[in-house]
Amino acid sequence: MPNKKKVFSIFGIGFLGAVFFCILAGSVVQAAEKTKIRIGAEASSFAFQFRVALAAGIFEKYDLDAEIFSFAYGIDTLNATVLGETDSAEAADFAIASRLAPGSKLRIVAFILSPADDACKLYVRDDSIKVTADLKGRRIGVKKGTVNEYEWGKFFEKFGINPQEVQYEYLSSTADQIAAFQGGDIDAFWGVTDIESTVLKVPGSRTIGDYGLLGSRYKAFVLLDELFIKNNPDAVVRLVKALDEATTFIKNNPEEVADIAYRDLKIPRDAALAGIKTLNYDIRLWQEDLDQINDVYNWSFDHGLIKNKYVLSDYVYTDAIREALPDKVTVK
């Protein structure tokens, strides 16, 4: 008669082996289910939600194999997605309004942030520039293709300055603006609060106002390639959830976010903390958010900054955020 203990021992080993195999197989399946996503993001506080989601393991939690590619401006992230270099982009309303066109493969997925009035300031470097009217005849730094171009247009309209009465100096990055300001090549520019300590080291420099002068503030959004959405609809839902969790993380852990910003982007901790305080991060999609893009588009089209004609609703994807965050959607 067979030894029962031996039989049970063999059975037990076999059973445990089967369990181990199932666990191992399950791990392989789970790993295989991770969705790769290439994210285009600014190298600034504008992109902290994405940086935090990666550094804090939030993307991994939602089975997203994310890789972040850094760019100077939001418009650059849009261009990268259009060219197929990335799957997602982030940009402010004017950049989006100017980049969309019939046949565009960009899709707006969610609002991500808007600034407080003191998030951006108007820096000047000449003692004779005391009020807005004194900018006539001056050289201004402009970030072409970004919301900054729209902001200058609205600024001149509000204060009755003819754009022909100023000299536009187009610059490709914030670093270029600072260098031009320090070198005396421009007399004024709009810049984020993060750089104030650096800018005010220039003799005779100061600020003469912030976004409160404009009476309006930009809104920024995350966009995806329509093909990525088509092939990975569930991953888009997970992306929205991950960004929402990262947003909560930023609000609850600003010091840790500042550490991430310094480690990943070499942004000084005090500058990162200042950026966090002046940006209102949120993941949502309200009708008023889309209305603002339309308002920006209409004004820019009427003033010749935008040439393309299109219907904005054709480039909005709401399925993911309706599933992920149904209480944060009011789009009609």
Confidence at residue 201, expressed as pLDDT on a 0 to 100 scale: 93
Range 71-74 contact pairs with CB under 8 angstroms and sequence separation of 24 or more: 71/40, 71/41, 71/42, 71/43, 72/42, 72/43, 72/172, 72/173, 72/174, 73/42, 73/143, 73/145, 73/146, 73/173, 74/42, 74/46, 74/146, 74/147, 74/220
Which residue spans within the chain are E strands per DSSP? 35-42, 64-71, 88-92, 106-115, 120-124, 139-142, 167-170, 188-192, 206-210, 220-225, 279-284
Confidence at residue 184, expressed as pLDDT on a 0 to 100 scale: 95
CATH homologous superfamily of 40-113+218-328: Periplasmic binding protein-like II (3.40.190.10)
Q: What are phi and psi of 304, to 5 degrees?
A: 80, 10
Contact 140, 189 (CB under 8 A): yes
What residue ranges do the domains of the chain occupy?
A: 40-113+218-328, 118-213
Confidence at residue 174, expressed as pLDDT on a 0 to 100 scale: 86
Residue 64 structure tokens: 């997203």
Task: Confirm whether 40-113+218-328 and 118-213 share one CATH topology.
Answer: yes
Confidence at residue 25, expressed as pLDDT on a 0 to 100 scale: 47
Confidence at residue 144, expressed as pLDDT on a 0 to 100 scale: 81
Give the architecture-level CATH label for domain 118-213.
Answer: 3-Layer(aba) Sandwich (3.40)
Going residue by residue through the chain, which has 332 residues, state the pLDDT in tens, using 9 for 90 and above: 445 444 444 444 444 444 444 454 454 444 458 999 999 999 999 999 999 999 999 999 999 999 999 998 899 999 999 999 999 999 999 999 999 999 999 999 999 999 999 999 999 998 889 999 999 999 999 988 788 888 999 999 999 999 999 999 999 888 899 999 999 999 999 998 888 889 999 999 999 999 999 888 999 999 999 999 999 999 999 999 999 999 999 999 999 999 999 999 999 999 899 889 999 999 999 999 999 999 999 999 998 889 999 999 999 999 999 999 999 999 98
